[in-house]
């Protein structure tokens, strides 16, 4: 039951109706039953994997909370007469016990993900490098495991850090970890931000209904009109890449970047739209990423919740660890203060982007994709000051529109080349496509010789696509300038508002890619 199928719309309509019919205090039960039903309809018996993760994480959270509470009680019982050393010893003992449980919780959740998603990848490496002969297993990946595993780990760590109190209601906690709109492809929520919203019953609000419906409609537009139409030439170019060369190779990467943006953000908007209807605010996952002026900024705007997760649970713990602090101290003596001071965060950042790439899939191409981004972020960190001084010496006005445009275009080009690795059929194919680009890179005859119409789209499709992408970037530019389209529509007369809604609905129905010859259900990030 994919987001773009009619049965999904019927399903969420039923959930919304029942949600607002039942008493306020039991409305969370409707969301729980809806989430478990949705998961079962999509994954069948693999619902058991999700339930096992829920129960295990729930128990781990309570054990950690009990250890922390007991430690606080013992510390309080020591009284004022206890020495500082005694208090410190007790704190360390409590922390050590809690840390052991945290480690167990993380290892089990992460171990399940590694086995189900990466087992065959590790087998390939072992068979190829060590000469082993382990068999490849046919493993069906549970829906959304890459997302709810990170969600579970964040919850465990937050309980350990004292940021949240462990949930002691199993059914409610099950709703937090299985909430169906976001489990497919995010955003990745935090317990502190989402749980209370799920558990509280929300009254019906006509304005929220309209805003949620707008987001859902916008999500459908992005997915059906842009992403699924772009999928046709993208699939052709990336599968038959040896037949093409020059600038068309770069255009294929640009097309894929736009496809994944429309696909991923479209799905997230549908999830956020349904949630808004029932009174729940999911976190924003995109903020005009193609307006970024550096790769580092791009990742602050793209898949925001994944970046925030990596920052809080990987980057900071690594860069502030004793090992990395010691590395920084020694490297300053060897490399000098400038480079030595930056080495620990650069190392931590490289590990983050290695994991970001690996998180996308069990393939070397994704690892290289992560490293690709890590390299350019490292260059920005190391050479940022020199780059700024050079631009000043050359007389460039770094506040001008021209300079900002240059930075945006430069970042767009770097991001687009990275798409060869994330979309290429293999790592070899990705490098092969880059090599093809440098063969006749200035050749633009493909614009006029019928090549475009041989990629699977007719001229009207290309016109629709061009107009739809223009609408996407126009709306992004309005948001970038702080203009709220929702508020603007709300201020209009009711007749005009419904005219806009009808036009948007008709645009999706008329220009969306429908029919038996394509698969609208295959959200790119829904397969992680």
Q: Is residue 431 part of a domain?
A: no
Q: Are residues 194 and 217 in the same domain?
A: no
Cα–Cα distance for residue pair 491/171, rounded to 1 Å: 41
Is residue 495 predicted with pLDDT exceeding 80?
yes
Q: Is residue 273 part of a domain?
A: yes
Q: Are residues 167 and 306 in the same domain?
A: no
Q: Is residue 130 part of a domain?
A: yes
Last residue of a domain, one of 184, 204, 224: 204
Last residue of a domain, one of 150, 171, 204: 204
137: domain range? 6-204
If you average pLDDT over residues 426-455, what whole number do you get?
A: 85
Is residue 484 predicted with pLDDT exceeding 90?
no
Are residues 55 and 178 in contact, defined by beta-carbon separation less than 8 angstroms?
no
Q: Is residue 430 part of a domain?
A: no
DSSP conformational letter for 221: I
Is residue 256 predicted with pLDDT exceeding 80?
yes
Q: Is residue 231 part of a domain?
A: yes
For residue 491, the tally of other CB atoms under 10 A from its CB is 10
The residue among 154, 165, 155, 180 whose CA lies nearest residue 43 is 180
Lowest mean pLDDT among 74-78, 137-141, 207-211: 74-78
Is residue 524 predicted with pLDDT exceeding 70?
no
Per-residue pLDDT tens digits for 222-234: 999 999 999 999 9
Q: Are residues 108 and 231 in the same domain?
A: no
Q: Is residue 435 part of a domain?
A: no
Q: Are residues 179 and 260 in the same domain?
A: no
Q: Residue 126: CA atoms inside 13 Å, Cβ hemisphere, count? A: 11
Q: Are residues 241 and 389 in the same domain?
A: no
If you average pLDDT over residues 415-428, what whole number do you get?
A: 93
Q: Are residues 491 and 383 in the same domain?
A: no
Lowest mean pLDDT among 281-295, 311-325, 447-461, 513-527: 513-527
Q: State residue 316's pLDDT score.
A: 92
Residues whose CB is less than 8 angstroms from the CB of residue 149 and which lie 6 or more positions away in sequence, other chains included: 53, 109, 110, 112, 113
Cis check: omega of the bond before 392, within 30 degrees of 0: no
Is residue 343 predicted with pLDDT exceeding 90?
no
If you average pLDDT over residues 83-89, what whole number do you get?
A: 78
Q: Are residues 109 and 148 in the same domain?
A: yes
Q: Are residues 475 and 511 in the same domain?
A: yes
Per-residue pLDDT tens digits for 512-523: 875 444 444 456
Per-residue pLDDT tens digits for 310-339: 999 999 999 888 888 888 888 888 878 877
Q: Are residues 403 and 455 in the same domain?
A: no
Q: Are residues 309 and 375 in the same domain?
A: yes
Q: Is residue 428 part of a domain?
A: no
Q: State residue 528's pLDDT score.
A: 60
Last residue of a domain, one of 171, 204, 237: 204
How many structural domains are present in the chain? Answer: 3
Cα–Cα distance for residue pair 6/13, rounded to 1 Å: 11
Cα–Cα distances in angstroms (integers) from residue 32 to residues 6, 12, 178, 271, 278, in the given order: 22, 13, 8, 15, 13
Q: Are residues 187 and 232 in the same domain?
A: no
Q: Are residues 117 and 219 in the same domain?
A: no
Q: Is residue 1 part of a domain?
A: no
Are residues 134 and 96 in contact, defined by beta-carbon separation less than 8 angstroms?
no
């Amino acid at each position: 039951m994919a987001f773009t199928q009619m049965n999904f719309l019927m399903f969420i309509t039923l959930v919304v109706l029942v949600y607002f019919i039942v008493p306020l205090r039991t409305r969370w039960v409707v969301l729980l039953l809806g989430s478990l039903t949705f998961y079962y309809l999509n994954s069948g018996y693999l619902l058991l994997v999700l339930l096992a993760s829920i129960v295990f994480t729930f128990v781990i959270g309570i054990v950690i909370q009990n250890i922390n509470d007991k430690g606080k009680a013992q510390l309080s019982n020591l009284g004022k007469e206890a020495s500082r050393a005694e208090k410190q010893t007790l704190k360390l003992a409590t922390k050590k016990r809690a840390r052991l449980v945290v480690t167990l919780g993380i290892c089990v959740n992460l171990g399940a993900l590694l086995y189900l998603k990466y087992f065959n990848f590790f087998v390939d490496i072992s068979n190829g490098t060590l000469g082993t002969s382990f068999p490849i297993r046919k493993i069906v990946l549970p829906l959304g495991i890459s997302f709810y595993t990170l969600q579970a780990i964040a919850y465990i760590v937050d309980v350990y850090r004292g940021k949240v109190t462990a949930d002691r209601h199993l059914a409610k906690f099950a709703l937090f970890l299985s909430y169906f709109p976001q489990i497919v492809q995010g955003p990745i929520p935090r317990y502190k931000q989402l749980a209370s919203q799920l558990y509280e019953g929300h009254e019906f609000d006509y304005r929220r209904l309209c805003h949620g419906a707008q987001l859902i409609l916008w999500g459908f537009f992005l997915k059906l009109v842009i992403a699924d139409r772009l999928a046709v030439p993208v699939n052709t170019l990336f599968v038959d890449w040896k037949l093409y060369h020059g600038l068309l190779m770069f255009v294929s990467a640009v097309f894929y970047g736009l496809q994944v943006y429309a696909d991923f953000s479209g799905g997230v908007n549908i999830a956020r739209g349904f949630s808004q209807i029932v009174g729940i605010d999911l976190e924003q996952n995109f903020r005009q990423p193609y307006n970024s002026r550096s790769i580092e900024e791009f990742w602050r705007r793209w898949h925001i919740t994944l970046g925030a997760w990596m920052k809080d649970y990987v980057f900071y713990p690594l860069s502030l660890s004793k090992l990395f602090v010691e590395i920084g101290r020694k490297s300053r003596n060897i490399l000098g203060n400038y480079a030595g001071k930056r080495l620990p965060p650069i190392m931590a950042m490289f590990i983050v982007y290695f994991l970001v790439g690996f998180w996308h899939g069990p393939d070397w191409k994704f690892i290289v994709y992560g490293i690709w981004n890590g390299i350019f972020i490292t260059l920005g960190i190391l050479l940022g000051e020199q780059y700024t001084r050079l631009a000043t010496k050359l007389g460039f006005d770094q506040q001008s529109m021209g300079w900002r445009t240059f930075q945006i275009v430069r970042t767009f080009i770097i991001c687009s080349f990275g798409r060869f690795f994330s979309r290429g059929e293999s790592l070899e194919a990705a490098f092969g496509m880059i090599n093809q680009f440098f063969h006749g890179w200035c050749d633009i005859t493909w614009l006029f010789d019928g090549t475009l119409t041989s990629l699977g789209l007719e001229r009207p499709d290309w016109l629709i696509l061009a107009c739809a992408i223009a609408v996407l970037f126009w709306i992004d530019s309005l948001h970038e300038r702080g203009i709220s389209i929702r508020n603007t529509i709300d201020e209009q007369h009711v007749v005009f508002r419904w005219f806009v809604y009808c036009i948007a609905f008709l645009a999706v129905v008329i220009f969306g890619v429908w029919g038996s010859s394509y698969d609208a259900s295959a959200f790119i990030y829904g397969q992680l």
